Amino acid sequence: MERPNLSYIESMSGGDKTFERKLIDIIKEEFPIEKEVYFTNIKSKNNKLTAEIVHKLKHKISILGLEKSYEIAIAFENNLIEGQYELQEDFEAVLQLITDYLKQL
């Protein structure tokens, strides 16, 4: 499985470490909240709201350099809109991967 990284953040910052830290701090603050919203909505089988939070989370997935995981998020979002739960396990594995990574930062 691919590993999260800060390459995209570093390329956007132009070497500005303060900017990088702010962006990382925003992700560290928002991600756990969005993840919790995801699990609340998936548990209640609210596909529309679950798809909306997956849409938000996929941007963080992209920012953390997870290209294959981003594709999983897109497909899972589309599945949810159609009332299907294929890729749920894969998507939740991505969420755990990011959770573990953010703890290290």
3-state secondary structure 19-87: HHHHHHHHHHHHHHHHHHHHHHHHHCCCHHHHHHHHHHHHHHHHHCCCHHHHHHHHHHHHHHHCCCCCC
Q: How many domains is the chain partitioned into structurally? A: 1
User: Is the pLDDT assigned to residue 104 strictly greater than 90?
Assistant: yes
Query: pLDDT for 69-97, tens place per residue?
Result: 999 999 999 999 999 999 999 999 999 99
Query: pLDDT for 10-58, tens place per residue?
Result: 999 999 999 999 999 999 999 999 999 999 999 999 999 999 999 999 9
Structural domain contains residue 2: no
Domain housing 69: 7-104
Structural domain contains residue 22: yes
Question: What is the reported pLDDT for 13?
Answer: 96
What one-letter code names the amino acid at 99?
T
What the block records as the tokens of 89 is: 């396990």
